[in-house]
Homo-oligomer: A and B are copies of this chain.
Amino acid sequence: MQKRIGTACIGAAAVIPCLAAAETGSAAAAGAAPPVIWLIAPLGAIAALIFAWRFYRSMKRSSEGTDRMREIASYVRTGARAYLTQQYKVVSVCFVVAALFFVLLSFVLKVQSRWVPFAFLTGGFFSGLCGFIGMKTATHASARTANAARQSLNGALQVAFRSGAVMGLVVVGLGLLDICIWFHVLNAVMGLTLVETTVTMLCFGMGASTQALFARVGGGIFTKAADVGADLVGKIEAGIPEDDPRNPAAIADNVGDNVGDVAGMGADLYESYCGSILATAALGVAAFAAEPAIRINSVVLPMIIAGAGIFLSILGIFFVRSGERATQRELLRALDRGINLSTIGIAVVSLLLVRWLLPGHAGIWGSIVIGLAAGWLIGKSTEYFTSQDHSPTRFVAAQSVTGSATVIIEGMALGMLSTMPPVVTISVATLFAFVFAGGFSHPEMGLYGVGLAAVGMLSTLGITLATDAYGPIADNAGGNAEMSGLEPHVRERTDALDSLGNTTAATGKGFAIGSAALTALALLAAYIEEVRIGLVRVAAQTADGLVRIGEKTFRVAEIQTADLAFFMDTFEINLINPKVLVGMLLGSMMAFVFCALSMKAVGRAARRMVEEVRRQFKEIPGIMEGKTPPDYAACVDISTRGAQREMMPPSLGAILVPILVGLTLGVPGVMGLLAGALATGFVLAVMMANAGGSWDNAKKYIEGGHHGGKGSASHKAGVVGDTVGDPFKDTAGPSLNILIKLMSMVSVVVAGLVVKYAPVVGAFLHMR
């Protein structure tokens, strides 16, 4: 035991001040690293926002096209705004309730820092602001992209891609800015210790997580309800083409693309981005406890890497251009050029940063690079399994000859098999990020390396998210072109962009899933830091100022300086503790139940949409002749209300289960829960995303004239696969990323509560 706990603090009765004594102290006092480098982080954030603003202005200056185009665009914009307003109302209520709960935890029960409620609120606010800006940009950009497509493919790419870049840069800019401001306020202005600063800031991630959950789940339900309603009644029953203005759900369908793919994806990655930086910062404090001179550098390193990544992303964005008569292949190469430039740039820059800020720890650079490489590899494997250019998806398409059942079975099998490369990649990346950072001789350092791998993977998010967000803009531009009755070549060009977007979206999904897994791994370790602080806080409220874990008693100073292994051994967070194993089973179950709830929610919302579309076709005269416009707003409203109503049960589950498990099974149960949810949720998310993506592209492959082409029995079987895949890939699958991270975040935030009350509940249940 002696080995594991450092030198005890003299005067352990003075509980909280002692925390400071064991610390490097505040930033102002440290002065070890030249603050000029630190400025890369806030400057990067500000640069991101400035360029986002520039791209937004330049997009707004281009023409929105004909009156009809403007009209359609304004419908979509109004619908999107209506959805967002409604969503933010619901979210605000939830946030107020949650903030009050945190006020209770912080000021009444005193198990948390009093900064937590505020950190929580700003995290949520900035995440919501990202969604708002991204959506506003996307809805303004679609008609302009369509209009640019009337001239050239490259022109359309420029408008769509720069608008996507607004989303990418706003996400990284606001995320990093919020982190920099809080770090400055808590550490330099308020003089909190590094430990307290970083664990308080982690709670900021909880706000972003909650916002992301609502955005992903709500957006996912909205978009699929509208999609299914538009397809089932419009295309199949009424026999009118996709995006036909006579379809009452057509606008809702277009709104859905923005809501789900732009706002949802943005919120998801905002959360991973902030979560990975904050978790790594917290792990840095633990890892560099013995090196006070550079301890604070380890905390700011993830922020600086993120800042440098932003500058390189902006540079990369400017490199995405090609000739006026570019082919699709050339456009793809242009996108790749931009991303590759940023990636190689950050690899080089981070080597310099590591050598400068963390002398003697050059190996940590390897952790960052392996994170970058892992993100790229997962993207490639997603592309391999879901693209119609490769054999797996073509094989799914070939099954359509024997009917829809074989398409479904083969797609499921493909999805399950496709989990292998991402899992192996993340496994290898985790192990080597740990090894490169020297984890097997110093586990805290290794975990810091794992956190930095996530930061590395996400450092070029500014540009990778841009290549992801422009897809739905191109999709919407196509919808606008269709509904405005533009020439066929415009639609062809937007379709080319859209299909290009599908390829790059594979990379984006790889980043989303891979970074969620790595971030969750880092959060698992960061959770222990919260537990440590929670124990100290609880001890401060007792008469003897001692810390109790089970039957054992410790001095506060022992807890403050104990290493992670001490907590693992003392709390028995091992694989024969039934609390851990039961937690794992429950975590695994949560992933499946969460998927079930969101899929059922889509079903219910879609049924209401189907009824509404049918009603309009029946009750509004002249709708099929195109004389009377349908009531688009009613459909948007149904999707909106459906999404709001249906997102509550799964969201509440994700928030309440970690609290309940924490109170009944304590810290070991929570760790088990998070590990189980991570292991199952990650694999299930990959399976659902890839099965769905493959069914989608198998249908497109058949429509391309294979196995009988459009209208054949094979095509019908392909459509069944695509319909099954929709909730898989757009609702349930992506929501799992959030589930994993949100459950971790909730656990982090309520760690103090669990530490204080789990022993009480356990005694009541005779579990101790």
* Chain A positions near chain B (C-beta within 8 angstroms): 1, 232, 399, 402-406, 408-410, 412-417, 419-420, 423-424, 426-427, 430-431, 434-435, 439-440, 443, 446-447, 450, 517, 521, 524-525, 528, 564-565, 568-569, 572-582, 584-589, 591-593, 595-597, 599-600, 602-603, 610, 671-672, 675-676, 678-680, 682-684, 687, 719-720, 723-724, 727, 766-768
Contacts and interface: CB of A to CB of B under 8 A. Distances in A.
Contact of A680 (B414, B572, B683): B683
B443 A577 contact: yes
A568 B579 contact: no
A591 to B, nearest CB: 8
A589 B524 contact: no
Contacts of A232: 402
Contact of A423 (B417, B517, B586): B586
Contacts of A682: 585, 588
Contacts of A575: 524, 568, 573-574, 580, 671-672, 675
A602 to B, nearest CB: 8
B724 A584 contact: no
A595 to B, nearest CB: 5
B419 A589 contact: yes
Residue among A443, A450, A586, A596 with the highest chain B CB neighbour number at 10 A:
A596
A593 B679 contact: no
Given A409-B599, A423-B586, A576-B525, A683 B414 contact: no
A412 B599 contact: yes
Contacts of A528: 576
A578 B450 contact: yes
Contact of A427 (B582, B592, B603): B582
B423 A599 contact: no
Nearest to A597: B417
Contacts of A402: 232, 610
Contacts of A403: 720, 723
Nearest to A446: B578
A1 B2 CA distance: 10
24 contacts: A399-B603, A403-B723, A405-B720, A409-B599, A409-B723, A413-B599, A416-B596, A417-B592, A419-B592, A420-B593, A427-B585, A430-B581, A431-B582, A431-B767, A434-B578, A521-B581, A525-B576, A574-B574, A574-B575, A575-B580, A581-B675, A588-B680, A592-B683, A679-B680
B413 A576 contact: no
Nearest to A599: B413
Mostly, the A contact residues are: helix
A581 B416 CA distance: 20
B584 A679 contact: yes
Contacts of A585: 423, 426-427, 517, 678-679, 682-683
Given A404-B404, A524-B575, A569-B569, A416 B592 contact: yes
Given A404-B404, A413-B603, 14 more contacts: A1-B1, A409-B724, A415-B596, A416-B593, A423-B586, A423-B589, A424-B589, A524-B576, A564-B576, A581-B678, A581-B679, A584-B584, A585-B683, A588-B680
A67 B167 CA distance: 78
Contact of A443 (B404, B576, B719): B576
B568 A439 contact: no
Contacts of A414: 596
A720 B420 contact: no
Contacts of A447: 576, 578
Given A572-B565, A599-B413, A588 B423 contact: yes
Nearest to A591: B683
A619 to B, nearest CB: 21
Residue among A399, A675, A767, A768 with the highest chain B CB neighbour number at 10 A:
A675
Nearest to A434: B578
Contacts of A416: 592-593, 595-596, 599
A368 to B, nearest CB: 16
A336 to B, nearest CB: 29
A589 B427 CA distance: 11
B525 A582 contact: no
A408 to B, nearest CB: 5
Nearest to A719: B405
Contacts of A565: 569, 572, 574
Contact of A413 (B399, B409, B430, B596): B596
Closest 4 CB pairs of A and B: A416-B596, A568-B574, A405-B723, A417-B596
